[in-house]
Amino acid sequence: MLRSLSVLVLSLLLIVGLAACGGGSDEGQDGQSAEENGGSNGTVDVAAAEKTFEQNCANCHGQNLEGRNGPKLENIGSKLSKEEILTMIKKGGGGMPGGLIRGEEAENVAAWLATME
């Protein structure tokens, strides 16, 4: 009886442990890799990125990325990588001040903008 119970408990622990490890794929729900999606965990929080952009960037780049005082960003992802966009956000350039957004917000906005092709 004790042996059967031990085998059952170990089996359940093994199943739970394997389930927690996931499928081993680096792809997100849309079939893109974490690098393609831009996020370190394979996802971009689009709602948060849009909100951050609206609060910090839209005055110059336009609500619809169409450009105003700053350049348009409608297809920036076909021109610059996430890393290049992030560098621009951090350091600025071409009249844009650096550091308007920082940390995870900057990473998320850069990843979101990198999807604009």
Reported as a single tens digit per residue, the pLDDT across 77-89 is 999 999 999 999 9
User: What's the CA gap between 22 and 25, in Å, rounded?
Assistant: 8
For the chain, the straight-line distance linking the first and the last C-alpha, in angstroms and rounded, comes to 63
**What pTM did the predictor assign?**
0.65
Rounded to an integer, what distance in angstroms lies between the CA atom of residue 47 and that of residue 69?
Answer: 24
pLDDT, tens digit, 9 for 90 and up, residues 93-112 = 989 999 999 999 999 999 99
Three-state DSSP class for 108? helix
CATH topology for 34-114? Cytochrome Bc1 Complex; Chain D, domain 2 (1.10.760)
